[in-house]
Structure 1
């Protein structure tokens, strides 16, 4: 088995301030690389905050120049970063909730949220998902928040050969117990390493729970942030064995 180190970036986004959020993302990328991380996953809409009614104004095409500092940093650090941003695609009308894959090799991938929460259709349209990431023997399937509330989503990922299920989310205090139990259950049911990157502070009027976490393929909790605030939740795997730690940023 190929060694892989991946991490959830638990960030506190500033509402609508993309330059400030990019600056903070760059700091997270540097901290992740210093800890040997190869794949870093940020929360849902991490670059804008979860601000549906700012989304039309802030939405970008995936190749937009605003992402250049992040893409350059990914190449420099040899780190793949998955960042959250509202996007527009030439192939589809409307604004989508995107997870943009900024590859260590300079590549750019796009995952768009397939399942919307009630009320999100006022600002967004449902997306089409996206390709899994290949890292040696590991196949990383992506998801954004409500995607995982549909049991068919992780099941199809597993059936397609995924070994890792990586989810950028916004989960509130009130929803954390049920949502984390779902994700832990998927890990055990499908034999997936499950990573959840949550917001570390309020966003879009929600009191986010933080407590980003990673579960082993048997459902065992590998590592979790203790609460809110900025943190890296890291899992390192080799030979089928996973160990975790949490690093303050």
Structure 2
């Protein structure tokens, strides 16, 4: 089994400020690379903040040049980053909640949120999901927030061969106990490494919980941010053994 290092980027987004959020993402990517991270997952809608009322005006096509600095940095660092962004994949199409996979090899893949949270249909349309990421001996299934509230979602990921379930989310203080228990349960039930990247500060009127976390395939917690704020929650596998750490960014 190969060595593998992945991390949740617990970032704080400035509402609607794409340039500033891109700059912050670049800092996270550099910090992650310094710790050997190969796959870095950001929270839901990390590049704009969770701002449904702004999403239509901010939505881009997946290959929009505005993302060039992030894609170039991914190539330069040899790191794959999964970033959150409102997407409009055709001029007349609705806006979906996207997770863009910016590959270390220059590739671009798209995951769009399948299951909307109640109320999100005002601003967003349901997405199509996306193919899992193949990574040496691992298969990584992506999810965006409410996707994981449907037990069928991780179940289908396992059927597709997933060994890692990577979630970009916005989880509030009130929702954290239930949501973290669900994710920990999926790790234990399905034998998955489960990663959850949450917002590190307020977004969209929500008081976000932070506490991004990674659970081992037996459900045990490998690492978790202690609260809110900017942080990297890292898990590293060497000779089949996982270890976790948290780094302040």
- TM-score, length-scaled by structure 1: 0.99
2:186 — aligned with what? Answer: 186
1:237 — aligned with what? Answer: 237
2:14 — aligned with what? Answer: 14
Is 1:132 the counterpart of 2:132 in the alignment? yes
2:41 — aligned with what? Answer: 41
| C-alpha displacement of 1:238 | 2.6
Is 1:24 the counterpart of 2:50 in the alignment? no
- Secondary structure of the 2:96 match is strand
Superposed CA deviations along residues 1-30 of structure 1, whole A, max 9, x for unmatched, are: 111100000000000000000000000000
- Secondary structure of the 1:100 match is strand
RMSD: 0.9
1:200 — aligned with what? Answer: 200
Structure 2: unaligned runs, 5 residues or longer: none
- Secondary structure of the 2:46 match is coil
- Secondary structure of the 1:173 match is coil
2:143 — aligned with what? Answer: 143
1:166 — aligned with what? Answer: 166
Superposed CA deviations along residues 21-50 of structure 1, whole A, max 9, x for unmatched, are: 000000000000000000000000000000
- Secondary structure of the 2:174 match is helix
Superposed CA deviations along residues 155-185 of structure 1, whole A, max 9, x for unmatched, are: 0001110000000000000000000000000
1:52 & 1:117 partners in 2: Cα distance?
A: 12
1:90 & 1:242 partners in 2: Cα distance?
A: 42
2:203 & 2:25 partners in 1: Cα distance?
A: 16
Deviation larger for 234-243 or 81-90: 234-243
- 1:65/1:144 Cα in 2 relative to 1: closer, same or farther (>3 Å)? same
- TM-score, length-scaled by structure 2: 0.99
1:57 — aligned with what? Answer: 57
2:27 & 2:84 partners in 1: Cα distance?
A: 16
| C-alpha displacement of 1:134 | 1.0
1:35 & 1:238 partners in 2: Cα distance?
A: 14
| C-alpha displacement of 1:89 | 1.1
- Secondary structure of the 1:94 match is coil
- Secondary structure of the 2:131 match is coil
1:190 & 1:68 partners in 2: Cα distance?
A: 37
| C-alpha displacement of 1:102 | 0.1
- Secondary structure of the 2:88 match is strand
- Secondary structure of the 1:31 match is helix
Q: How many residues align?
A: 249
- Secondary structure of the 2:14 match is coil
